[in-house]
Structure 1
Amino acid sequence: MSFTVNFTTRWADFDANIHMRHTSYNDYAAEVRLRYFKEKNITIKDFGKEKIGPILFEENTRFLKEIHLGENISANVKVLGLSRNGERWKLQHEVFNEAGKLSAVITVYGAWLDLVKRKLTVLPTKFQELFKDAEKTEDFEEIILKK
């Protein structure tokens, strides 16, 4: 399943050079992830009830093309990697400018955190399908957990 969100940019997204501020790209990527979870009928409240939450170990942004003041954008999410038990995941976001040109690629490496034990965990059974139908990148790989 392909998942893309269109956004109207805001004045606050831009810097003194009149192009999109570097952290705005990551803010939109995070918003796409939350909307993807909601599309799968999992909200932040659901995570809270289960006392579990997503955490990031690493976030990398590669800038390719400027997004200028007043341009609208679209951003997607694809699964780049997943551990067999679903505990850890790598996601890729592509951000496109208003003309549809690829402007940035954001990769995030994360896991699920038990908010009580403060340790990594797997998703509850009812959430296990979260990334099953998600679009995978061409270079998708299984994340091998070291013991």
Structure 2
Amino acid sequence: MMDVFYEGQVLWAQIDANQHMRHTAYADFAAQARLAMLESLGLKPTVLYGYKIGPVLFREELVYLREVGINEHIKVTCDIVKARADGSRWTIRHDLYRSDGVKAAIIEADGAWIDMEKRKLITLPPELSQLFMHAPKSSDYIEEPIKTK
């Protein structure tokens, strides 16, 4: 069963000169799906902001499989493929599907959490970590040990 966190239509503004979806639109759709996934776990932006915490990316990789055109209806799934046991570091895979069910792209993002005031990486408070660790996990999910200082 796929966990779809974003569904929508490709807009004219998301099309490039070759008449297919521009490269940055893939990252935008993945980010929107990722935020929807976090919200579904109880990690709404207002909750995170209350703790002065935000997600931060280290790497984002896109693999293009098929063209996506204007007015195409797409679906984006999110699965955690790797995370530390406390959720402090993670990799999320997003699969982008066209309306015909064909997988058009794979977007993989590595990230962590940042204290928005101190501008330093942090570990989520236990109550938020527990919420995050309930995210959908891929069939090839790897849980890494918690790093100690």
Q: TM-score, normalised by structure 2?
A: 0.90
Unaligned runs of 5+ in 1: none
Q: What does residue range 1-147 of structure 1 map to in structure 2 within 5 Å?
A: 2-4=2-4, 5-144=6-145, 145=147
Counterpart CA distance in 2 for 1:133 and 1:125 is: 13
Counterpart CA distance in 2 for 1:45 and 1:13 is: 28
Q: Is the 8 A contact 2:10 2:69 kept in 1?
A: no
Which contiguous aligned blocks of 4+ residues in structure 1 show a shift greater than 3 angstroms? 143-147
- CA apart distance, 1:2: 4.7
Amino-acid identity (%): 35
Question: For residue 83 of structure 1, what is the amino acid of its counterpart?
Answer: R
Q: Is the 8 A contact 1:67 1:97 kept in 2?
A: yes
- CA apart distance, 1:143: 3.3
Counterpart CA distance in 1 for 2:59 and 2:144 is: 14
Q: Is the 8 A contact 1:2 1:78 kept in 2?
A: no
> May I ask how many residue pairs the two structures share in their alignment?
147
Counterpart CA distance in 2 for 1:11 and 1:97 is: 16
Q: Is the 8 A contact 1:2 1:135 kept in 2?
A: no
Which SS does the other structure have where 2:130 is aligned? coil
